[in-house]
Structure 1
Amino acid sequence: MASTPDSDFDFGRALDYLRQGARVTRDGWNGKGMWLALQVPDEHSKMNRPYIYMRAVNRELVPWVASQTDLLADDWRIA
C-alpha cells in the first residue's frame, strides 16, 4: 500500500517530501514539535549547497545530521 502524507514512511520518502518543500518529523523522537526542513540556497545565502535543518524542542533552528536510527526508521511523516 502506498503511503499518504498522513501515514508513516521511510527516510527515502521523507527526503522526497523535503525536496518538495514539506516539513517532516518522526514519531520516534522524544520531543514534541520537532521537525526537519530543507534549505536551498539562493543568491543571498551564505551557504552554497542545500542542507537539512531541524526545529528542536526549544524551537531553535539548528543544523541536522541523520543518525543510522533516523535513516533506517519507518516512522517518518509530514509535520
Structure 2
Amino acid sequence: MDFGKALEAIKNGKKAKRKGWNGKEQYIELAKNISYQSASGEIVNCNHENIGNKAIAFVGTSGVQMGWLASQADMLADDWEIVE
C-alpha cells in the first residue's frame, strides 16, 4: 500500500504502519480534538474550524509524537499496511 492509501485509511479511523519500521508496535493514527498546556499552564483547546484540530500522531515504543511528519522515504514507500 502506498502513503496516499495509508493517509486515507487513518482519516477513516484506521491505524497504519510501514513494514520497514524497526520498532514493533509503531504506527500512525489521526489525533482529533487536540488540546495543549501553554507555557503559563493554561489548557488550550484547539476548536478552530478553519484551521482544524487534527494531527497525525506517531505511536511508538517511547510514547506518542504529536504532529508527526512523513519523510520523503515514507511518502514514496509502498510498504504501508493497516494495523489491526
TM-score under structure 2 normalisation?
A: 0.73
Moved runs in structure 1, 4+ residues, more than 6 A?
Answer: none
State the match for 2:27 in structure 1: 35
**Counterparts of 2:13 and 2:70 in 1: how far apart (Å)?**
18
Q: For 1:10-63, what per-residue CA distance to the aligned partner results, in whole angstroms no more than 9, with x for missing partners?
A: 000001101100000101111111000011327x943642110011123x1112
Q: 1:61 aligns with which of 42, 47, 64?
A: 64
Spell out the pairing of 1:1-79 with structure 2 (5 A cutoff). 9-41=1-33, 45-46=45-46, 48=48, 49=52, 50-58=54-62, 60-63=63-66, 64-79=68-83
Letter in 1 for 2:60: A
**Counterparts of 1:61 and 1:47 in 2: how far apart (Å)?**
21
**Counterparts of 2:79 and 2:21 in 1: how far apart (Å)?**
10
**Counterparts of 1:74 and 1:34 in 2: how far apart (Å)?**
17
Letter in 2 for 1:46: C
State how many pairs are aligned.
69
Percent identity reads: 36
**RMSD of aligned C-alpha atoms?**
1.9
Structure with the greater alpha carbon radius of gyration: 2
Letter in 1 for 2:30: L
TM-score under structure 1 normalisation?
A: 0.77
